[in-house]
Chain A
């Protein structure tokens, strides 16, 4: 293909040039020109439509390819890659040789490139694009690079075109010009943008590289020659994945807390199911059992062609050792039970009551999720969740004195548990939200009239003064109905004086 080449894109006022090659540049064509004008300047111009989305995807693929040099590789703008090669250069024998290697490989792939190495990403960006033709690609380290950087044109700071023009109008043309200006008036006139870019270029401010794709630490996948559809096949495949993962986890001494299974179907849709565990686990069979409860959620459609298993949360594995402790086997059985319950019923449905330090009766008992391992907000009590009570031991097996001993009921002396101690009477079953009732000589509740035997109270419970949303103070009463039921009622201490049923007492 001879002759100048340009890629075009529909733009304002018609089709405009998107990118031009060297020959076209020599003919005076610039990106942004109307195609009609370009044809007038260069009659033998070959114009082809541009595809920016594909360009971006190709660049992202290139960034992932560049992870051969460093894990910290990312795309930079629409036409650049940035590689954080800190600590990686020795693998190829230094920065120069890394650049040579990179240039060779890109050249063989038919890509032209401009490379630069600098202390910061911004410096490397500017040096790659705007250095003079005679300068080498590698900048010296530290402040010794400043001489080179300060001689660059302002465009090397990667500023917006408008800002660049404004700065040029006041006579600032190079990075050095900008650096020598007092900062405060400059910021007042042009915003903090130019200064921030300058600081990042000179290494005064941080300029981190966000890698294109965080390498997933714990991911295994398996593609199938034929799409699978049956439950058995999915289960077998999952077990193989779990075994693969388990081997890697075992090598690292870790267990999973959260797992995500992604099923990629032939119709290019993906389905996810996630499980969580209360303690680090890596037993493939046990994990498979947890997934089994969720298998109904998988719809294979026309078949699953790939399965991907990602451990989104891992923890150091302490399992087997802890099992040796007294009663540990039972405690682990309970943990396993909790995992199964949580994964089938849902995390919100399985809870562990914890007392809260508040006056509001409905907030005194908080249900803490079993999986979380901590309370969400606002609890003043110690969040000791995984501390299950000690499991029952052999202590309740009394030693028999005769071959057929008379069963001796054992019963430790009960005592009021301290953490839940309350001053007044409290209901056994709490209604939340409270139900409105009418109280006269008797109680009207849901259309039934219930005569009251006696009423005990009031116990005044104020809202928590240290919280912002303050409801009315309540006067609580315990009432006994004529049929023997005992109820817990309150009356709001405000203008309405409304009665509510808040619980059933034992």
Chain B
């Protein structure tokens, strides 16, 4: 569903974190938000999903409301945010239990989400028994089970090792080919942005402003092909050129927390 971010500003006390963010995201589009640490990208994601109240500005959806979606804005978290005392299936079911669906429908939806993420045989396992990659797959299944209109991914692969990250990128692309949500993907990993996003929004240092919006013209599904390798390297290089200096400055900053 088309998503509109209009004049969003956010202050933490006297510190301005976000300054006048204006961004329209088309239906079914994947937008990556990147920027140096402390640029407010996670803050922006929190505002989009209604977990944070912006100091000013607003976020809205347009188009006919989706009858199918139980939770229009749905997060996937960096630390997975699974309940350790619930099994995989029960963690996924948590998103449905309060929606007043019948037990058979709940079970059916959970089974479908687990199948889509390759977790069917892990349904009874507990999070502590799973690898980081499998835990994040549970997080993805829990998001899919409510059929979100907008999927908000907050550094979803940042807690994973490089190989698992590759595997999950492939999984995400396969899942996105089958379900039609709009996605906002926060990351500090340039490669994830170049591989997964239709557009990459580069934010500046605090206070975060939109510095550049880079459209990648090759469809995400085709980016794995060898002939596009050069393009991905070029995108990566351009993104790095945009944020290198600010990342270096941000790195040398003394934090007042």
| Same assembly | no
